[in-house]
Amino acid sequence: MLDSLLALGGLVLLRDSVEWEGRSLLKALVKKSALCGEQVHILGCEVSEEEFREGFDSDINNRLVYHDFFRDPLNWSKTGEALPGGPLGALRAMCNRTDLGPVTIALDSLSWLLLHLPCTTLCQTLHTVSHQDSCPGDGSPVGKVHVLGLLHEELHGPGPMGALSSLAQTEVTLGGIMGQASARILCRRPRQRPTDQTQWFSILPDFSLDLQEGPSIESQPHSDPHIPPVDPTAHLTFNLHLSKKEREARDNLTLPFQFSSEKQEALLRPRPSQATSHIFYEPDAYDDLDQEDPDDDLDI
Amino acid sequence: MFPELNNLLNTTPDRAEQGKLTLLCDAKTDGSFLVHHFLSFYLKANCKVCFVALIQSFSHYNIVGQKLGVNLTMARERGQLVFLEGLKSAVDIFFQAQEKPHPLQFLREANAGNLKPLFEFVREALKPVDSGEAGWTYPVLLVDDLSVLLSLGLGAVAVLDFIHYCRATVCWELKGNVVVLVHDSGDVEDEENDILLNGLSHQSHLILRAEGLATGFCRDVHGQLRILWRRPSQSTSQRDQSLTYQYKIQDRSVSFFAKGMSPAVL
């Protein structure tokens, strides 16, 4: 799947992280495009041209058109050498190309552009570049445009990442286990369900892609030998169980505060044996029996 | 410089690599011992060093440097060391009239400016001198530290642009090295610092990360150092290497040992 990334047109996002860098995969895809005979434009903002071209042999290097925005991207040197319009101008210029063959545009990196340009402007420009279906002049079909954007995941919030994801036809997220790199490829084709695949790969020194099966998963270390559970209810000094008679007696017991129907009737029926209640009082030596009612003076 | 750290990094002053960006970061601990290491390392390697010191005074670095075997005063006098003492010169902006833009000109500007004057100071300091005297090996830029620039009101993108231009000039054009220190805010949510740290991590060739121990403060083990090599220059299929060691800082040296192998517990 990784080697057919370039079959579809449109924007391909290569999402990398500090641990799993994506520039070698970008260079491998650039090499593939160049070998297919496509014209390749590189918008280089993060590394020098020499560093990017390192590892490519000369016939590939001859096909790469490098737009150098590494040396002086913000025009601080004011020598006039900087390309006019900056990276955005160069990207817009690619929207109005006149030749009709298929072209690959590699953005190294899209993160740099996203940090320096407003997200909306960048998204609009990317949309225009990657959806060039026909030449404005005569309407004849133009060759496919592939835009490869290297994006550093940790640098951007969910808003810009989501906006770029929605623009992209394919998203490749780099990761890996134990020194083996993997690419999770999320592919959105029009009128088809999006596909999600993981491909293990490695990049060879000459930047060709080597697709692999995956790391050999070592057998899990065996869990501790199964200890037979000890029954805690054995060998007790007290009795945890009830005999049958004891169980019956327990079931027949009514609880003191349970309001059963018998109790309800007992309360409702007046008890004949009990007419009035008597209070028997033995006054103490110290008791002061005052016959007056202390509440007499209350005027209620 | 600490000989044990040189062994771990597999480098000596005579045969250090050129054209590299080294990122030092610390989390929950003080990583300034790494700054002192690289300062003395490059002075011993006979490099022309431009030190943008925004945190401590010159005498602080001098005192520590003498313990490590370098004399900063003499290095400055003979032109090997160009020292921007941020604490002192920041005051000069406000109380002295400046003819040309001061390196720390952004302190005067109301809205977040850029670090172009600071970059021009660095470029001026490290440009090769044609007089042919006392040939220094290669230029080195050392910054201590970048997080304080964020606290002073600059945006993360402005600081990243400054380092970009320093990389383009010092690493690529002059084949020198750049070493910067950034603090990792860790638990504290600091988006600008995270952007700065991650952005620099992507550009770095070597990342040295000093972390405090997860279990807390310890007398015999002061912290843990993670070393990550990125972007190997030969495009071999070798993936980025990562090593972790624990360390203890002593008066004149730092000793490193594998995790759990501190002499105190063996």
Residue A272 confidence class, pLDDT cut points 50, 70, 90:
low
A155 contact residues in B (CB cutoff 8 A): 195, 198-199, 202
pLDDT exceeds 70 at position B175: yes
- Out of A96-105, A243-252, B156-165, B179-188, the most confident range is B156-165
- B113 Cβ neighbours under 8 A, 6+ residues apart: B105, B106, B154, B158
A29 or B242: which leads in pLDDT: A29
A144 vs A102: CA distance, rounded Å: 5
Residue A230 has pLDDT above 80, yes or no: no
Q: Which of B92, B5, B80, B73 is nearest to B42 (CA)?
A: B80
Residue bearing tokens 């020098």 = A48
* Sign of the alpha-carbon dihedral angle for A230, A233, A235, A236: positive
The domain spans of chain A are 2-133+142-171
Strand B206-211's sheet: what is its strand order?
B81-85, B48-53, B139-144, B177-183, B21-27, B206-211, B223-229, B241-249, B254-257
Q: Does the beta-carbon distance from A48 to B230 stay under 8 Å?
A: no
pLDDT at B200: 95
pLDDT of residue B25: 95
Instruction: Write a three-state SS string for B1-64.
Output: CCHHHHHHHCCCCCCCCCCCEEEEEEECCCCHHHHHHHHHHHHHCCCEEEEEECCCCHHHHHHH
Cα distances from A70 to residues A44, A74, A107, in angstroms, run 6, 9, 12
Position A202 scores a pLDDT of 86
A211 lies within 8 A of chain B by CB = no
More confident of the two residues A107 and A77: A107
User: For residues A283 and B136, which has the higher predicted lDDT (pLDDT)?
Assistant: B136
pLDDT reported for residue B169: 94
CB distance B159 to B114 below 8 Å: no
Nearest to B121 by CA among B152, B165, B151: B165
* Nearest beta carbon to residue B168 from set A18, A71, A154: A71
End-to-end CA distance of chain B: 27
The DSSP output letter for A134 is B
* Model confidence at A223: pLDDT above 50: no
Q: Is A136 in the B-facing interface, judged by CB distances under 8 Å?
A: no
Query: Average pLDDT, stretch A112-119?
Result: 93
Given an 8 Å threshold on Cβ–Cβ distance, is B199 in contact with A155?
yes
Strand duo B241-249 + B254-257: pairing: antiparallel
In this prediction, residue B49 has a pLDDT band, given cuts at 50, 70 and 90, of very high
Given this model, what pLDDT does residue A224 score? 47
- Structure token digits, residue A54: 């390192």
The pLDDT > 70 percentage for chain B reads 93
pLDDT digits (tens, 9 = 90+) for B186-221: 777 888 999 999 999 999 999 999 998 888 888 888
Collapsing DSSP to helix, strand or coil, A126 comes out as helix
Buried b (16+ CB within 10 A) or exposed e, A221-240: eeeeeeeeeeeeeeeeeeee
Q: Which of A2-11, A58-67, A233-242 is predicted most confidently?
A: A58-67
Shortest Cα distance, chain A CAs vs residue B203, angstroms: 8
For an interface test with A, the pick among B235, B240, B243 (most A C-beta atoms closer than 10 Å) comes out as B235
- Residue B26 predicted with pLDDT over 80: yes
What are the structure tokens assigned to B149, written together? 């620039």
Q: Strand ranges (DSSP E) for A51-193?
A: 64-68, 103-108, 145-152, 170-177, 180-187
More reliable by pLDDT, B168 or A281:
B168
Question: Residue B167's closest CA among A69, A231, A3, A71?
Answer: A71
Residue B66: per-residue pLDDT: 94
What ipTM was predicted for this assembly?
Answer: 0.87
Looking at beta carbons, which residues of chain A come within 8 Å of B119? 76
Calculate the average pLDDT of chain B. 88
Task: Give residue-wise pLDDT tens across range A178-214.
Answer: 778 889 999 888 788 888 889 888 888 888 888 887 6
| Closest by Cβ to B203, choosing from A46, A55, A116 | A46
pLDDT confidence of B134, banded at 50, 70, 90? low
> Architecture of domain A2-133+142-171 in CATH?
3-Layer(aba) Sandwich (3.40)
- Name all domains of chain B by residue range, CATH numbers in brackets: 3-128+135-213 (3.40.50.300)
Nearest CB to B237; choose among A54, A76, A203: A203
CA dihedral B38, B39, B43, B48 (to 10 degrees): 100
Percent of chain A residues past pLDDT 90, beyond the cut: 24
The 8-class DSSP code of residue A146 comes to: E
Q: How far A181 CA lies from chain B's nearest CA (Å)?
A: 9
pLDDT tens across A28-57, in order?
Answer: 999 988 988 888 999 999 999 998 998 888
- Comparing CA positions, the residue from B3, B140, B1 lying closest to residue B82 is B140
DSSP string, B152-198: TT--HHHHHHHHHHHIIIIIIIS--EEEEEEE--TTS--HHHHHHHH
The residue among A254 and A274 whose pLDDT is bigger is: A254
Q: How far A6 CA lies from chain B's nearest CA (Å)?
A: 23
* Contact (CB, 8 A) for A37 and A104: no
pLDDT at A219: 37
- For residue A51, the number of C-alpha atoms closer than 13 Å in the C-beta half-sphere is 24
